[in-house]
């Protein structure tokens, strides 16, 4: 298994004809992901790359192709609507790549999603990858913008708020011969659909995941909550890294969620919470895979 | 994005949030006219310098005049005070030694305060809903209250679709001891403040202090606003309030090129793709014994041009004595980035140490481009080595 998606997952892409969406839809197809539909209002009936049918609505795309998961690449002003369209169509999972969605829009989306069966990942996230068995992990399920070739099929789960730090961790693991079950980027915004804790619970239940790397950053308290749960319930070894120890208070460090305010959400506090939960801390971003290996050999 | 105090008062006026009467002035004559128009008989006026930085009251002007906040008794005195502030540079503990030039002042009624309270609205990340925070301890840092007297803080969640209900405004009023005729004033103020928070896409509004005057009025005396940068595209009236002279000019320049830059105090500049990796790169510079000069995220899909602009911005900082480039080229081609680095380094006549750590897509070609460029730069296999190399190179050069 893996979590959230498998190589057989049927994926649709909202915003498939935009330059960003098109580029990554093509890369996913090349990776061997089952991209079965695209959605761009007004372009229904056309084909993307001469192979993927485009629909006007998500509902049509789901009924015609059996897609269960969507990746959203639409611009920020239209993203909240796109997410709720995916929810209304009964998708299992909506992965929102879009960066820059207003916080109040996301607040309303979360409230409107209560009681629905759909899980949201993101926004402002790199998406997720379940590596395949082919060369350079070809044949896997790549949803979003992560480079597919850095992965390798295996049993380490990776969860992170940051894209490039996820790639660093994955590349370090792959270079050392350790493959991944699923790698999930949950996004850098203050309001997101899926938390570190949600993903930890899934990895804990997944028989194909044997160890976990959790990458966090300053701001909020999601890493602390995940660590507190892991201390009590997680049966698998975890290594952690927290970015932002040198960030000045009160400044937004790129990600809208990466901000320390009123002494809350500091790297120091998060690292202490992770350590207290028995999580092996990577001192530097070069040390993420090695920290996990240390923890596994402990 | 931040705004001036007088702009906060204009927003309050627009939304019907009671605040002290007063207006902004750009000249001593205008200040006198504002005071005259307030028409206070035997009242007092307050004259306040308008800069974003805090600590104005305890600041000193470079012309020797002390204090950016003053009380006075007549419109003529208000004019005189204004003449000592407008066009002068005010230095406070938040402005740094260079200070900030005061272009405008606020002239208002100096109210007699009976009680100081605290009120804020923000989005709670843990629950993803707005929360109203109220405390009877106004005029002091809420963090201090939270630490010493947590029982004195009320936290009231608001339903995203229902908004702040009238009964909730009464709960807040009661918790603040606003009873009798003050309760209806309070309900109105809280309702309007919440409407302002939502309709203007605030991420936080903090009224500190919210005051009860001796003559029985409830007024928002001072406020701090934070606006959601992601929502500025639909808030033209807020964007119009932006004062770029109050911002770090390097940050203003960087934003023009779609770069995310924040200036810091150190001497090792860094250029990184991705916010998380950029933060981690700052951390590792410190870990290696150096001090980062900036946060700089060129974005996940940085172009050659963006890399070149990024170089110009970090090199414009005079305290920078070395540069660390850390790129994980996931999708983008490392060779393209390498060409951008070479181009920018040559164009800017780079004379300080440069360490480049490239990893990812087409990395061998990128490394070859760097090696054959004739530039004096060092490569590094991983981020830790890169940080150690730049720290020792800077130390050796100084």
Q: How many domains does chain B have?
A: 3
> What's the confidence (pLDDT) of residue A262?
66
Reduce the DSSP state of residue B147 to 3 states and report it. Answer: helix
Residues B231 and B279 in one domain: no
Residue B14 lies in a domain: no
Interface mutation target, options B202, B231, B260, B279, chain A, most CBs of A under 10 Å: B279
Contacts of A223 in chain B (CB under 8 A): none
Contacts of A144 in chain B (CB under 8 A): none
Mean pLDDT of B41-60: 87
A15-23, long-range: CB within 8 Å, 24+ apart, which pairs?
A: A15/A39, A15/A40, A15/A72, A15/A73, A15/A74, A15/A75, A15/A82, A16/A40, A16/A48, A16/A52, A16/A54, A16/A73, A17/A43, A17/A48, A17/A54, A18/A73, A18/A74, A18/A75, A20/A73, A20/A97, A21/A71, A21/A73, A21/A74, A22/A48
Q: Fold for A10-121, please state it.
A: Rossmann fold (3.40.50)
- In tens, the pLDDT along B120-170 reads 999 998 899 999 999 998 877 777 788 788 888 899 999 999 999 999 999
| Annotated catalytic residue, options B118, B137, B194, B261 | B118
Nearest to A163 among B125, B203, B274 (CB): B274
The complex scores an ipTM of 0.91
Distance from CA of A147 to the nearest CA of B (A): 5
Residues B117 and B104 in one domain: no
- In tens, the pLDDT along A103-146 reads 999 999 999 999 999 999 999 999 999 999 999 999 999 999 99
> What's the confidence (pLDDT) of residue B302?
67
Which of the four pLDDT bands, split at 50, 70 and 90, describes residue B178?
Answer: very high
- Report the half-sphere exposure of A249 (CA within 13 A, side-chain side): 7
Nearest to A217 among B273, B276, B384 (CB): B276
Q: Which domain holds residue B88?
A: 21-109
Which CATH number characterizes residue B142's domain?
A: 3.30.470.20
Residues B34 and B77 in one domain: yes
* Domain positions in chain A: 10-121, 152-296
Instruction: Report the percentage of chain B scoring pLDDT > 70.
Output: 99
Residues B313 and B256 in one domain: yes
Residues B103 and B117 in one domain: no
Residue B11 lies in a domain: no
Q: Does domain A152-296 have CATH number 3.40.50.261?
A: yes
> What's the confidence (pLDDT) of residue B359?
86
Asked which of A253-262, B200-209, B230-239 is least confident by mean pLDDT, the reply is A253-262
Residues B79 and B134 in one domain: no
Residue A229 clears pLDDT 90, i.e. is over it: yes
DSSP letter for B230, please: G
Cα distances (angstroms) measured from residue B79 to each of A4, B84, B86 = 68, 9, 10
Residue B294 lies in a domain: yes
Residues B136 and B198 in one domain: yes
User: Do A10-121 and A152-296 show the same overall fold?
Assistant: yes
A147/B330 Cβ within 8 A: yes
Name B107's bridge partners.
B23, B47
Residues B352 and B329 in one domain: yes
Residues B68 and B125 in one domain: no
B276/A162 Cβ within 8 A: yes
Query: Of B90, B109, B128, at which residue does a domain stop?
Result: B109
CA torsion sign for B271, B273, B279, B281 is negative
Which CATH number characterizes residue B105's domain?
A: 3.30.1490.20
Q: Which residue in chain A is spatially nearest to B330 when comparing CA positions?
A: A147
Q: Are A191 and B123 in contact (CB under 8 A)?
A: yes
């Amino acid at each position: 298994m893996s979590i959230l998606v498998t190589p057989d997952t049927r994926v649709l892409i909202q915003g498939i004809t935009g330059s960003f969406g098109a580029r990554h839809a093509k890369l996913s197809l090349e990776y061997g992901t089952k991209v079965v539909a695209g959605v761009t209002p007004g372009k229904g009936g056309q084909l993307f790359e001469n192979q993927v049918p485009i629909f006007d609505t998500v509902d049509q795309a789901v009924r015609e192709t059996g897609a269960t998961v969507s990746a959203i690449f639409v611009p920020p002003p239209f993203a909240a609507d796109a997410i709720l369209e995916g929810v209304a169509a009964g998708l299992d999972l909506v992965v929102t790549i879009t960066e820059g969605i207003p916080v109040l829009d996301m607040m309303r989306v979360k409230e409107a999603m209560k009681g629905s069966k759909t899980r949201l990942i993101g926004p402002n996230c790199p998406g997720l990858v379940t590596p395949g068995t082919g060369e350079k992990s070809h044949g896997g399920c790549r949803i979003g913008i992560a480079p597919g070739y850095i992965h390798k099929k295996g049993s380490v789960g990776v969860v992170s708020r940051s894209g490039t730090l996820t790639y660093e961790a994955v590349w370090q693991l792959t270079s050392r011969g350790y493959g991944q079950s699923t790698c999930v980027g949950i996004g850098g915004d203050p309001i997101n659909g899926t938390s570190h804790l949600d993903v930890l619970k899934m990895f804990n239940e997944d028989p194909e995941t044997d160890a976990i790397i959790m990458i966090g950053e300053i701001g909020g308290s999601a890493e602390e909550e995940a660590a507190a749960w892991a201390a009590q319930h997680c049966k698998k070894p975890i290594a952690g890294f927290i970015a932002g120890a040198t960030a000045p208070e009160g400044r937004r460090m790129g990600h809208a969620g990466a901000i320390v305010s009123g002494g809350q959400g500091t790297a120091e506090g998060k690292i202490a919470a992770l350590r207290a939960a028995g999580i092996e801390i990577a001192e530097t971003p070069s040390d993420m895979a090695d920290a996990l290996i240390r923890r596994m050999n402990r | 994005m931040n705004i001036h105090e007088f702009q906060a008062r204009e927003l309050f006026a627009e939304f019907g949030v009671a605040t002290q009467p007063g207006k902004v002035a750009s000249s001593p004559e205008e200040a006198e006219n504002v005071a005259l128009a307030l028409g206070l008989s035997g009242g007092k006026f307050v004259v306040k310098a308008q800069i974003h930085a805090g600590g104005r009251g305890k600041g000193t002007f470079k012309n020797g005049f002390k204090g950016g906040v003053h009380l006075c008794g007549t419109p003529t005195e208000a004019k005189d005070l204004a003449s000592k502030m407008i066009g002068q540079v005010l230095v406070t503990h938040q402005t740094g030694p260079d200070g900030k030039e005061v272009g405008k002042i606020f002239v208002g009624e100096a109210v007699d305060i009976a009680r100081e309270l605290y009120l804020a609205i923000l989005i709670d990340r843990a629950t993803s809903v707005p929360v109203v925070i109220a405390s009877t301890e106004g005029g002091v840092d809420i963090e201090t209250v939270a630490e010493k007297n947590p029982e004195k803080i009320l936290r009231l969640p608001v339903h995203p679709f229902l908004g702040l209900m009238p009964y909730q405004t009464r709960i807040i009023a009661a918790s603040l001891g606003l009873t009798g005729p003050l309760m209806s004033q309070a309900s109105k103020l809280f309702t309007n403040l919440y409407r302002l928070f939502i309709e203007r896409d605030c991420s936080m509004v903090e009224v500190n202090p919210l005051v009860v005057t001796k003559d029985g009025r409830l007024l928002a005396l001072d406020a701090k606003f934070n606006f959601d940068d992601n929502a500025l595209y639909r808030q033209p009236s807020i964007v119009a309030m932006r004062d770029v002279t109050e911002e770090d000019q390097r940050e203003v320049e960087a934003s023009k090129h779609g770069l995310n830059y924040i200036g810091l105090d150190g001497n090792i500049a860094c250029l990184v793709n991705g916010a998380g990796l950029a933060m981690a790169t700052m951390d590792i510079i410190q870990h290696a014994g150096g001090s980062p000069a900036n946060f700089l995220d060129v974005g996940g899909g940085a172009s050659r041009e963006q890399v070149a602009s990024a170089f110009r911005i970090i090199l414009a900082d005079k305290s920078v004595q070395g540069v660390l480039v850390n790129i994980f080229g996931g999708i983008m081609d490392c060779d393209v980035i390498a060409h951008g680095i070479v181009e920018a380094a040559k164009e800017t006549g780079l004379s300080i140490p440069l360490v480049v750590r490239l990893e990812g897509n087409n990395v061998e070609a990128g490394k070859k481009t760097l090696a054959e460029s004739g530039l004096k730069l060092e490569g590094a296999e991983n981020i830790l080595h890169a940080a150690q190399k730049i720290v020792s190179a800077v130390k050796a050069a100084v």
